[in-house]
Each structure stands twice: as structure tokens, then as C-alpha cells.
A and B are shown apart, each in its own frame.
Chain A
Amino acid sequence: MDRTFFTTLTVCLLFFSLLGGAEASASGRLLIYAGAASKPPTDDAVRRFEEKTGIKTEVIFGGSGYVLAQMKLAREGDLYFPGSSDYMEKAKRDGDVVAGTERIIVYLVSAINVQKGNPRQILGLRDLIRPGITVAIANPEGVCVGTYAIEIIENQFSPEEKQAFRRNLLNYTASCEKTATAISLKQVDAVIGWGVFNHWDPARIETIPLKPSEIVRVGYIPIAVSRFTQNRKLAESFIEFLTSEEGRAIFARHHYFAKPEEAFSWLGATKPVGGEYAVPAEWLKK
């Protein structure tokens, strides 16, 4: 063993000790795994929370299922903030969130989204099966807004109409954001997304509300403390901020519904809220 070997060893040990140090200093931070359905207001809320508390908050956005898998594999994270109830139910079943910490932040309603000015004159669900119309939905395998879309199609369309819809369905998008982008970048004529998508990109996206009878359930965005948190109090303080007047005002500014009644009023009917939907196998070829 000579000097070169010990120098190499020292450099390696120094490198790994620095990594360890970075982890230790992260104890005063928050790490959130979030579905992309709430990205615009969550970005604002995190900025405001950091300003108020000085607590560095990092958010990993993605499909709700994808970020859940990331959180489980990384075995770290303080909060799970999926895009809808479906994946929160799975997280609760698997014990990935702390029981009793779940809170509903906002409510969402499914809608058709088209390009600004509605050039293809899509006025309702059945226009999506018109020959020549191109449609995309989010992949129901890991993106909650896609699950809602399939539920609507399964409930509203006859087998023949479903066939026609499938002919127009060009593809599945990989996330909530990519579903909105499919309209912004004119990849398709229409998507079945969330009613708020037009507020994400007002210059390019227009929302066509569905008929009340076509909506099966109103979605909601919940948040809960992750079982991997090292600082439950800190995690709960973020939930408290989101549910405070100030937090709710941020989501309201982005046109998310703070109460189910607001969603019912926009929709014009009262509907079941949240829950889970098992997507039929034909949409998820195994």
C-alpha cells in the first residue's frame, strides 16, 4: 500500500462524507412527491411557504403513480400529494402514508379541452367520435386524469361509440401536463382533461364543460404525510398552510375549487366525490 492508494482512499471517503453531510443538512427541509395535476398552484404555494417559514421545500412532480413508486423506492419524502383520490387510496392501502393525516386540498371536474377558438367545433362528448377528429387522453395506467376519462367513456358510450372513439384516439399522454400540452402544441383536436386546463395556458386552451349527466364523479386532490418522513411536524405544517385562508386563496387564484359545492355549482349538479375506479382491462392491455 503506497501513497497513491491512500490518496485515492481519502478522496473517496471525503466524497462520501460530503454526501452524508448533504443528507444530514436536509433535515430542515421538506420533500414532496406530487402529481402534476396541481403543479401551477403548488409551485406558487411552495414559494409562499418558503418565504413565510424559511423552510426549503422541494417538490418532485410527475404522474401520481410514478411519484408514489419513486417515494417507495427512495424511502424518503415528507408528503404525498397525488393528482386525485385513486392513488391516495392505493398509498393508504399499502401503508405508504400516515393514517389520519390525509386532507383534501381542492376539487377538480373532468372536461373536454380544445384549441383556443374551438376550430373543430367540438361542443360535447359525442363530437369526439365524429370522423376525422383526433383525441388523446392521459394514460389511465398511471395518470389519474386518464382514469376519469375512461370512466366517462365507459359510462356514456355504447360499444359502437367506443369503437368510434378508439378510432379517433391517437394515443395516451404520459402525464397531466402532457395532456394539456397536447392541446397547446396542437398534437390533437381534443383531450378529456380537467376543467382547469384552460387556466394553465389561457392563450391556447379552451375548456368545453361536459353535461352534468356525463360526469360520474368529482375528483379531488388530497395530501397526506408520508410514512418515510423524518419530521412529521414540519410536514403537517405544510398541510396546515395549504388548508389555511392564504393557501386556499392561492389555489382559488388558479381556478381550483376549494369546496365540493363550488365544483357542483360549476357543473350544475351534485355528484359523488372521489373514490376509486377500476379501469377495464381492454384499456390497459397487460
Chain B
Amino acid sequence: MNFRRLTVLSALTVLGIYAALIASLAYFFDRTAVAGALTSERILFSIQLSLVASTVATGLAMVIAIPAAYALSRHRFFGREVVDAILEFPIIVSPAALGAILLIFFNTPVGEWVQTHLIRFVFAFAGIVLAQFVTILGIAVRFMRAAFDEVPEEYERVARTLGATPVRAFVTVTLPLARRGLIASGVLAWAKAMGEFGATITIAGTMAMRTETLPIAIFMRLSGADIEGTVALILVLLVIGLSALYGARYFLRDRHHA
């Protein structure tokens, strides 16, 4: 077996592993359960809630992640290494621990003040957004930094020598060149937010028609020992997530070739 065949085999193995897992859902597939899920007010609410919360969380994360990633890519500053190292914090501590940390934070005087005077996060919609935001912020910065790293600094320097301000050079040169990477990072962050479960359930609870996101709805179906219902909701989440990712990829490829 030559090297090419070995690498292609590895790629197909990745497909095979995930395809086998998805295909296994057919074992408990129940058309009535799927139809019931798609017409259920509760599930439609969960879908809407998941879409809105993950979009808001991703938008907020992008606002911080883009300049932060640019700073890490371009500048040397005090604490840079620490910032770079802490980006993996949400991955290291696990989602459930992250949710616990958020709850503990809201037990401190600062957290209590925020909850009392600004906005309630615990058991509320804002808690879902916060859980997703904290989960994706680090990886969004990491991916976006890679996107900026791919744009040679040379171009910005040329723009500066032609009289552009740092902001103008960033907006007119670096940002358009890094655009594809930034959008791809945003889409990945969104997908991660959409599937977030551990931190969300810990801080936001599980009540239907209030804070029950699609992943929590899946967990609750399984908690009721309703396996067919669980499979139906997994399929709904899969279709939404994969459609969004495929759509984004198609959009990026289309724009790239235009």
C-alpha cells in the first residue's frame, strides 16, 4: 500500500466511523416519533431557542475574538503567552465543570451583584447564551488567530507606507484577506454553540418552553427512557447542524470561485 492510498484510507475511515454511528440510529428509527417531533410546539421552541442562542453567543464571541485574535497574531505584549495558553481553558475543564464554575461565580459578591442589578443568568435565557459564549470564545480566538497568521504582515506594511492608518490597513487589507478563515471559524464556533450541553444544563436548567435547547431536549427524552423520541431529536439536530455547515461551506466555495 503506497502512502497516498494509506492517507485516503484514513480519510474514508473517518467517514466510515461517523457514517456508521449515524446509520445506527436507523435501528431505533420511528417515523411517527420524527413526525411528532417536527410538529411538536415544544420541539419547535427548542429548535428556535437553540438557533437564536447560538447565533447571539457566536455574534458576541466574534466581537471579542476578532480583535483579540488579531492582537495575538500581530503584536507582542505583556501577558500574550498567558492569553494564548488560556484559550484552551474551556476544553480542558470540560463543559460540566465550566457550568459549575459559572454557577460558583454567581455565588460570589460580584456575581450576585450582576444577577441582582444587571441581568439574571441562572435558570434563564441569558444563562444559555453565557454558557455557549464562554465555551466557544477560546476556540473562536484560536481559529481566527490562525486565519490572521495566514495573511502576510507584508501587505499591511505596504498599506501603511501608502498612508493608511492601522485601522484602515486592518479593515481594507487584512480583514478581506482573512475573511474566509474568519467566516469558517465563526461557523465552527456556531456549530459548537448549537451542540453545547454540559455547561448549559448546569446553569440554565431543563424546563421545556423556557430553557430547553435541542441538546437538552435530547437528554430529557433519554431521561424519560424514550429511545425512539431521542433518535428523532438527534436526527433533527443533525439535519440542522449539517445543513448549516454544508451551506456555509458551499457559500465559501462559491464566493471563493467568484
Q: Which residues of A contact B (CB under 8 A)?
A: 1-2, 4-5, 8, 63, 65-66, 68-70, 72-73, 87, 90, 136, 139, 141-143, 169-174, 178, 181, 185-188, 284-286
- Rounded to whole angstroms, the CA-CA distance of A66 and B223 in the bound complex is 4
Q: What 9 additional pairs, Cβ within 8 angstroms, besides A5-B1, A174-B202, A185-B103? A: A66-B219, A68-B225, A69-B227, A139-B207, A141-B224, A171-B207, A172-B206, A173-B205, A187-B103
Does B242 have its Cβ within 8 Å of any Cβ on chain A? no
Q: Assess whether A171 is in contact with B225, with CB atoms less than 8 Å apart.
A: no
Q: Assess whether A171 is in contact with B204, with CB atoms less than 8 Å apart.
A: yes
Residues of A within 8 A of B210 (CB): 171
Residues of B within 8 A of A178 (CB): 202
Fill in one digit per residue for B70-95: 1 if any A CB lies within 8 Å of its CB, else 0.
00000000000000000000000000
Which positions 179-221 of chain B face chain A at CB distance < 8 Å?
201-202, 204-211, 219-220
Question: In the complex, what's the smallest C-beta–C-beta distance from B68 to chain A, in angstroms?
Answer: 30
Question: In the complex, what's the smallest C-beta–C-beta distance from A144 to chain B, in angstroms?
Answer: 11
We find that the number of chain B residues with CB closer than 8 angstroms to chain A is 33
Which positions 15-44 of chain B face chain A at CB distance < 8 Å?
36, 40-42
Residues of A within 8 A of B104 (CB): 185
Q: Assess whether A69 is in contact with B207, with CB atoms less than 8 Å apart.
A: no
Residues of B within 8 A of A70 (CB): 222
Question: In the complex, what's the smallest C-beta–C-beta distance from B37 to chain A, in angstroms?
Answer: 10
Residues of A within 8 A of B63 (CB): none
Which positions 40-68 of chain B face chain A at CB distance < 8 Å?
40-42
- Rounded to whole angstroms, the CA-CA distance of A171 and B124 in the bound complex is 8
Question: In the complex, what's the smallest C-beta–C-beta distance from A15 to chain B, in angstroms?
Answer: 13
Closest to A175 in B: B223
Residues of A within 8 A of B207 (CB): 139, 169, 171-172
Query: If A63-B223, A171-B123, A178-B202 touch, does A4 touch B107 (CB 8 Å cutoff)?
Result: no
Residues of A within 8 A of B219 (CB): 66, 174
